[in-house]
A and B are shown apart, each in its own frame.
Chain A
Amino acid sequence: MDDVNIGGYQFMEATTMSRDRETRSEQGTQALSRNSAASLFGSERGSDVPDKTVGVITHDDPIFACRSVDVFYADKQAIFGVDLDIGRNQVISMIGPSGCGKSTFLRCLNRMNDTIDIARVTGRIELDGQDILDSKIDVVPLRARVGMVFQKPNPFPKSIYENVAYGPRIHGLARDRVELDEIVQTSLERAGLLKEVKDRMDQPGTGLSGGQQQRLCIARAIAVSPEVILMDEPCSALDPIATARIEDLIDELKENYTICIVTHSMQQAARVSQRTAYFHLGYLVEVDETDKIFTNPSHKLTEDYITGRFG
């Protein structure tokens, strides 16, 4: 057996492991140790608000182009130089802790801040190339083009039919009763409510359940053929089933409308939107594809917020 020489060759030395057999225990084993110098993810990223928004603020086909938008409440500044494009027929979600300015920014998009005396908005917000902050702009048609749905469903104290018919009637969108009926039907259908209410159109809208009322408000917004629908925490007063219905509806509505949604639920933002904007202390910190924001955000503030570390 002298010619057995199976392993007679030089091996490279293992550099990464001590081969001290005596220290190997027979019974128990040592867990691998943690390195005291272990510094993880993003240690080099600052946790301050960045000078410039991180991510991609522009969009190939923007319906809104906002540049250097500042908002003041009296002499207190609430929004600082926001630059953001909002893509056509897309859902964009605005997230961030309370008081970060996301709702304030949303309300700039149809000049809802005009209703607050001490509020002042500067910069440029172009809706299809037209600056909506221009004092010559009539806000009534603007708000028809850019509709809004609020946190708490707020149907008018009128019948279901009248709730939806009100807008088209005052904007003169229907020539006769037949056309108006058709608009009401289509809007309720698009809002996914028609089946549930078609036999009780003359009953008060306030008699519906919370989720149904919210869909009625969406139908009311749709009835005036808007291009954009702003939603300010539309599901925060709804149960999970009603929330799922609204989210399903948002998916469908984006075929025909652009939707901007402010939400406190990150899961909801992740589920419904294609782009996500993260606001912090009045600054737009990061905006990017939703998939990227929730799996691999670029800024530490965003990372801290979405992983539940912010505080």
Chain B
Amino acid sequence: MTDQKSEFTEGHIVRSYDAELDRLRTLLLEMGGLVVDQIGQAVNALTEKDRERSETVVRREEDVNRYDIEAEELVLHVLAKRQPMGMDLRAIMAITRAVTDLERCGDEAKKIAKIARRRLEDDPKVVEAFSIAADNMGALAAGLLKSAVEALDEADEEKAIQSAQADAHLDAEYKLALRNIHSALISNPSLIEVATDLVIVTKALERIGDHAKNIAKYVVFIVQGKDVRHVKTKALDKEI
């Protein structure tokens, strides 16, 4: 991590205010980095039948929660002490919401890791089938989340809208995965147990995409003060 300054953390006459906002921004990036890694590790644990990785993910979920709590405490403190206005207020609101979305993404990663633990004894061929579906969706979801958090940190609307719109790919993958699961089940109903787990995994990854999309939309709020949470993602371009 660089110590790159941003406009929303610097320039206050009270320098300790700068330091507090900088800490908040750093928290967002650290938490974002951890959650993106959690998603990758959870999917790997599943596809590579790696018990250790799944344990790591479950253990580190505590760290994700700690970031959530620390960010909440810091925001409360800043609101009470500084009474932020203008872009400070918008940035704080957006980061608070983003942290909540990241925490939920962390929960989804843990869900996948637990399924990975449960599927350790599966036939390698079943696992392979898991791999392709989960691996691709996992990479896509983690990538979306990463770019959304970065866009938020950089207050980069264009990048944010790109990543919000890229969520459509993830949704398409999700639908495709479901269709494939259905066909597989028709030809081999005994796969019901593994198929159910795969549905949960793909659904978890699809949800992560939605959270990433939320985070991306907060960027528009930071920059323009416009609430676009319920604006159709396709129509986001018109907002900038």
Contact = CB atoms under 8 A, between A and B. Distances in A.
B11 A295 contact: no
A3 interface: yes
Contact of A6 (B32, B44, B146, B195): B195
Nearest to B155: A40
B155 A296 contact: no
A35 B191 contact: no
Size bracket, chain A contacts:
35 or more
Interface residues of B, number: 80
B191 A31 contact: no
Interface string B193-227: 01100100000000000000000000000111100
B184 A306 contact: no
Nearest to A305: B86
B97 interface: no
Contacts of A296: 86, 90, 224-225
Interface string A39-56: 111110000000000000
Interface stretch (B70-78, B123-131, B230-238): B123-131
Among A31, A294, A303, chain B packs the most CB atoms within 10 A around the CB of A31
B122 to A, nearest CB: 10
A21 interface: yes
B155 A308 contact: no
A38 B173 contact: no
B65 to A, nearest CB: 15
Interface of B: 1-2, 4, 6-8, 11-14, 17, 26, 29-30, 32-34, 36-38, 40-41, 44, 52-53, 56, 82-90, 123, 125-126, 129-134, 136-137, 139-140, 142-144, 146-147, 149-150, 153-156, 163, 166, 169, 172-173, 176-177, 180-181, 183-184, 187-188, 191, 194-195, 198, 222-225
A30 B84 CA distance: 30
Contacts of A295: 85-86, 89-90, 225
Interface string A15-34: 11101010011110111111
B136 A30 contact: no
Nearest to B11: A309
Contact of B132 (A11, A16, A36, A310): A11
